[in-house]
Amino acid sequence: MVRVSWLVRHPSGQYNRRTMSSPQPIRIMCFGDSLTAGFQSPTRENPQGGSTPYGESLQERIGSAGQVSISGICGELTGEMVMRFRKDVLAQEPHYIVILGGTNDLGWNGPTHEIMRNLVKMYEQTVAAGGVPVPVTVPSLRVEDAGNSREGMEWVAGHLERRYELNGLILDYVRTKNLTAVDLFTATAEPETNLLAREYSNDGLHLTTAGYRLFADLVYQQVLQPALSKSW
């Protein structure tokens, strides 16, 4: 038997957590774009590329205590995520929904406030349906030859700044709503440069198997392990 959590909205706007025992496994939905689908760019060692969704590693971590579903579409924008959220996600009645979106919007120079508005719609729909949203910050990026020109350096700096802005909005929201976020940006960025670490990405945008496994570890340790530790 496990402890299942849900959120109740307080008049102050914060979400207060409630828990109850359940004989059923915890249901987790991993929702987003290519970073949820686990896309990996082809390499010399792996010319076909492939996919290693973090949800698969997450399932391995929690075993029979949970059921992990994955819904990630490469290239998807947050507005498109909102459009399919009820049918593809809420209809499955998950207890926890890990939501990562915004990378593609930023790539198309979408305004950060509009991206955040779409994310908030999904966070709030999750709570209204009795689930717990798990917001995830957008990871950094890396362009290997950007340092060879002033224009390249300015381009990277501009894109980093927009990631800082969006992630700041996500983390501010989490603090005001008493939620738990997964800070994927900080976990996968080089501390010295804030660029996406080569250890976790081979194309400067998507993660490697090591990066997706780290993502799964973060979700498990920060969100699911506390719930599972209350099992009896």
Confidence of residue 229 (pLDDT cuts 50, 70, 90): confident
Question: Higher model confidence: residue 41 or residue 15?
Answer: 41
The predicted-structure confidence for 141-180, as pLDDT tens digits, reads as follows 998 765 557 776 888 899 999 999 999 999 999 999 999 9
User: What average pLDDT does the segment 91-113 reach?
Assistant: 97
Average pLDDT over residues 187-215: 95
Ordered by start, the domain boundaries in the chain are 2-228
Q: Which carries the bigger pLDDT value, residue 209 or residue 2?
A: 209
**Chain Cα centroid distance, residue 92:** 18
Cα(218)–Cα(196) distance, integer angstroms: 17
2-228 to CATH, choices 3.40.50.300, 3.40.960.10, 3.40.50.1110, 3.40.50.10610: 3.40.50.1110
Q: How many CA atoms within 13 Å lie on the side-chain side of 105?
A: 24
**In this model, does residue 75 exceed pLDDT 80?**
yes
pLDDT reported for residue 1: 47
Strand partners, 32: 72, 100
pLDDT in tens, 13-37: 655 555 545 557 899 999 999 999 9
Across the chain, mean pLDDT equals 88
What pLDDT score was predicted for residue 16? 54
Q: Three-state SS for 61?
A: helix
- H or E segment and range at residue 15: strand 15-22
Phi, psi for 142 (deg, rounded to 5): -150, 130
pLDDT of 47 reads 73
pLDDT confidence of residue 2: 46
Nearest-angstrom CA–CA distance, 164 and 162: 5
Q: What is the mean pLDDT of residues 64-78?
A: 96
Does residue 99 surpass a pLDDT of 60? yes
Q: What is the spatial distance between Cα 186 and Cα 69, in angstroms, rounded to a whole number? A: 25
Amino acid at 140: S
Place of tokens 């719609």: 121
